[in-house]
A and B are shown apart, each in its own frame.
Chain A
Amino acid sequence: MTDSTSGLKLGTTLYSMTPAFHGREYTFEQLVRKVAAENLGPGLEVVGFQSIKGFPVVTDEYAGWFKDLIAETGLTLSCLGINADIRIDPDKPMSDDESVTYHERQLEAAAKLGFPLVRYQYPAGPAVIERLAPAAERLGVKMGLEIHAPHHTQHPDVLAYREMYERVGSPMLGFIPDFGASARAVPPSFFEAQRENGIPEDLITLAQEFWHQEGDPYARRERYIAAAREKGYPDREIMSLVIIFGLFSRAAPESWAEIMHQVIHIHGKFFDFDDNGDEIAVDYARVLPVFVKGGYSGFMSSEYEGHMWNDADGFDKIRRHHAMANRFMAEAA
């Protein structure tokens, strides 16, 4: 479908199969082999602290086994998810020095396993990431800030990174758009799960009204809570819906074009499909052409996250996601 060396290439993050892995239905190796066998690569993304016990410690023996497995399957390592665990002690956040060391160990693990880039998280802070640029260059591992809802390209937290990137000018620093940040709706399956938990339909309607309004998502969340309390709903019911204001947000898909020259990877977040095979919450017909026409070259990991509220088959979901993405990319080309 796509050129094998440039343009937007597809892939899978094993995070999509969290229930099957956590439930011990598939080992890591079985997941990797199944992704390859079902042609759900070529890109393969892994979350270090999920797939590898003891991460970021990676023994020579494990790294050898890991690289042999990837080579045998023919998959291409696209991205390693690393974490900004600055509150391992909840009462005493890491200093910048400790955080630099903590991140550097994960970068070294990525290099040892053969990943070309890592996904990092915004709590790291621009000052820490700036100090890691030399390590990224030394190790040959790019670092991408995941821009995840409720962030967007013009959010102050993201602008701070953009300014630092501009100043440092390192080719090793980039961005990873997560399409949950440019959604058009809340996934219907989220509300279905809430209905099954007894959340009233009128409260769901109220939450959706506030989700679709303009303005800062957390301000809208507060207005929703106030309005729901005024109507007499108990807090237990009200609070079961508040995560929609953080998990999915409504940046314009076209806004990703602002940072296109710095996009090094994509999280193709998705949840539910309609009868035509189109994703309901994320408008892929609108967002994919932004990247195709913007000249993006790299992987998009299919990232299914409906497992936060149900146990749907991640492999089935990714097959559908790849079919849809191939269709829209062919149209956009």
Chain B
Amino acid sequence: MMDHRVVSDNGLASKPGGCTIDVRLPWYRALPLSTVRLEAVEIDGETIDPARVSFELEGEKLRPADLAARTDKWWYVLDSAFVHVDGKETPKGTSHDVAVTISFRPPYIMGLNRIVRTAKTLVAQ
């Protein structure tokens, strides 16, 4: 079951001027980023403006809107991606409600658009 796997356990990290969330692809196999969307990031009930969000995979930082063009970049199932949120500070040791919604269209299943939202209460590392 993948519903609880988008946000990793212990996946919230405090960063100067913001925070980072460790996220996983909620599917059994690797997919190209062109089939994946970062739909929403919520922290403590606030939906974060996408302009303040970036998506990092294998050291490359992308704007959420840039994923659609990346037919060449694949998200492997064992790799974490990192969602960086600017301007939302989560000091180390404090507890926060974190939810991330990812959708994807498996490129071999016509018409399927899978939407998975994982919400967890995490203590910032």
Q: Which of B13-21, B27-35, B48-56, B90-98 contacts A (4 or more CB under 8 A)?
A: B27-35
- Expressed in whole angstroms, the Cα–Cα distance for A19 and B77 within the complex equals 11
User: Is A90 positioned at the interface, with any CB of B under 8 Å from its CB?
Assistant: yes
Cβ-defined partner of A90 (8 Å) among B30, B79, B107 = B107
Cβ-defined partner of B108 (8 Å) among A22, A23, A24, A123 = A123
- Expressed in whole angstroms, the Cα–Cα distance for A49 and B25 within the complex equals 13
Cross-chain contact B107 with A22 (CB below 8 angstroms): no
User: Is B24 positioned at the interface, with any CB of A under 8 Å from its CB?
Assistant: yes
- A residues contacting the other copy or chain, number (CB 8 A): 29
Per the 8 Å Cβ criterion, residues 15-36 of A in contact with B are: 15, 18-19, 21-24
Cβ-defined partner of A88 (8 Å) among B29, B34, B79 = B34
Give the chain A neighbours of B24 by CB distance below 8 A: 22
User: Is B117 positioned at the interface, with any CB of A under 8 Å from its CB?
Assistant: no
- Expressed in whole angstroms, the Cα–Cα distance for A23 and B34 within the complex equals 24
Cross-chain contact A87 with B105 (CB below 8 angstroms): yes
Per the 8 Å Cβ criterion, residues 47-69 of A in contact with B are: 47, 49-50, 53-55
> Which DSSP category, helix, strand, loop or mixed, fits chain A's interface?
loop
Per the 8 Å Cβ criterion, residues 1-23 of B in contact with A are: 1-2, 5
Q: Size class of B's contact patch?
A: 20 to 34
Cross-chain contact B76 with A53 (CB below 8 angstroms): yes
Cross-chain contact B108 with A310 (CB below 8 angstroms): no
Count chain B CB atoms within 10 A of each CB in A18, A84, A310 and give the residue with the most: A18
Given A18-B28, A22-B77, A50-B77, answer yes or no on A85-B108 (Cβ-Cβ < 8 Å): yes
Give the chain A neighbours of B77 by CB distance below 8 A: 21-22, 50
Cross-chain contact B29 with A83 (CB below 8 angstroms): yes
User: Is A292 positioned at the interface, with any CB of B under 8 Å from its CB?
Assistant: no
Of all chain A residues, which has the CB nearest B113? A90
Of all chain A residues, which has the CB nearest B74? A54
Cross-chain contact A86 with B108 (CB below 8 angstroms): yes
Cβ-defined partner of B71 (8 Å) among A22, A50, A89 = A89
A22 to chain B, nearest CB (A): 6
- Expressed in whole angstroms, the Cα–Cα distance for A193 and B1 within the complex equals 10
Given A22-B24, A22-B28, A53-B76, answer yes or no on A310-B107 (Cβ-Cβ < 8 Å): no
Cross-chain contact A22 with B5 (CB below 8 angstroms): yes
- Expressed in whole angstroms, the Cα–Cα distance for A310 and B2 within the complex equals 9
Of all chain A residues, which has the CB nearest B33? A88
Per the 8 Å Cβ criterion, residues 34-80 of B in contact with A are: 34-35, 71, 74, 76-79
Cross-chain contact B1 with A307 (CB below 8 angstroms): yes
Give the chain B neighbours of A310 by CB distance below 8 A: 1
B6 to chain A, nearest CB (A): 12
Cross-chain contact A121 with B108 (CB below 8 angstroms): yes
**CB-CB contacts of A273-317 with B at 8 A, as 1s and 0s?**
000000000000000000000000000000000011111000000
Cross-chain contact B1 with A19 (CB below 8 angstroms): yes
Cross-chain contact A90 with B105 (CB below 8 angstroms): yes
Cross-chain contact A47 with B28 (CB below 8 angstroms): yes
B120 to chain A, nearest CB (A): 15
Give the chain A neighbours of B2 by CB distance below 8 A: 22
Cross-chain contact A311 with B1 (CB below 8 angstroms): yes
Per the 8 Å Cβ criterion, residues 68-90 of A in contact with B are: 83-90
- Expressed in whole angstroms, the Cα–Cα distance for A54 and B30 within the complex equals 9
Give the chain B neighbours of A85 by CB distance below 8 A: 32, 107-108
Count chain A CB atoms within 10 A of each CB in B5, B30, B32 and give the residue with the most: B30
Give the chain A neighbours of B28 by CB distance below 8 A: 15, 18, 22, 47, 50
Question: Using a CB–CB distance below 8 Å, which chain A residues touch chain B?
Answer: 15, 18-19, 21-24, 47, 49-50, 53-55, 83-90, 121, 123, 193, 307-311
Q: Which 10 A-B pairs have the closest CB atoms?
A: A85-B107, A49-B29, A87-B107, A50-B29, A53-B76, A18-B28, A84-B108, A49-B30, A83-B108, A88-B107
